[in-house]
Chains A and B, each alone.
Chain A
Amino acid sequence: MAFLKVVQWIVWKDLVTEIRSRETISSMVFFALIVILIFSFSFSMNQQAAQEVIAGIIWVAFAFTGIIGLGKSFSSELQNDCLESLQMVPAPKGAIFLGKVTANFAFIFVVEILLFPMFVIFFNLDVIEEIPILLLIFFLATIGLSAVGTLFSALTVQIRAREVMLPILLLPLVVPVMIAAVEATKGALHGDPFSLYRQWVELLSIFDVVFTVVSFWLFEFVMDS
């Protein structure tokens, strides 16, 4: 039972730290808002053109915001030797991985939920019926992003150019998540029947399963001191 206890403890630790200081989520939300604003300025478009690119804009904003949150998750452990103490925890390192993934997932998902109404308002989307399926797409894609991102965050926190290396290493590997999320969101926003973009949701689930398992197994090699 030490495994589950460690997972719970790490999730609780990250959540409490965040609730008290609120620095990660607030910086992520404001960064995403700025990204939305810049996209609105760069694509001066009419209603018709907006429908084509809005799914892409949403996911670009979420990807870059997610990278900020993922970077912070392990770099906050660098102070006071927290990283070394994590390495000494007498439980399988996979427990730490699961705890961190859950915490990161929670942060990114909350930011996505907070931001989606802004998108609806700024770009005049009409999506009330599609909310459940959109939530499912966000859920699956965020799991994929957090699983691979937590592994890379732990990996890059100990090397030199850490803020730059995380996106460079992470983004090529999550290309399937990006493609699938954008296509599925596009289908959902258009109001297409589910069977049309169902393959993308399936792809997201496969990616999540495969990569959570592989990252879980590989995390042990990253956390060895």
Chain B
Amino acid sequence: MTTFYTKWGAMLVAMSILSILTYNHYQQDLATLSPQHILESPPAEEVRLLGMVRGGTLRGDLEAGDAQFDVVEEETSLPVKYHGPPPENLRELKTLVLIGTWNPTAKVFEARDIGLVTNYGFVMGAYLIGLLPLVLIVFSMSRKVSLLYTEIKESTVYQPE
């Protein structure tokens, strides 16, 4: 039985390493800033801004890839100047993620690309539901088989009295 538990302990360690690696990989995608954060502590490097396009503020030449609008989240509003690839799904009242830098002199966020607002809950849920039952079932079946082997070896044939 001890070799059994050692093998499964190694599996558990490998699974934890994989989950930590995955979490680290996606950490940077999860880190988005709100307009309030950018106004209060303006970052110097390129960041991701998450907010909603305020209604009535979208203007510019969308086919050429230029747009100006305001991004708002809970009362705080931030002007954005977008210059990048022509956006397919840029409309008012849409929540999106903008990748760009904050320009302190012009007091405007210069965005160079639009990212997708990914809902990682679905991906994580799918992987958990898809893989966790299998792991649990394999573990319990293997354990039962090991136990049965020892029990068969130890038990004696039934003798009616």
Q: Do chains A and B touch in the complex (CB under 8 A)?
A: no
B residues touching A (Cβ–Cβ < 8 Å)?
none
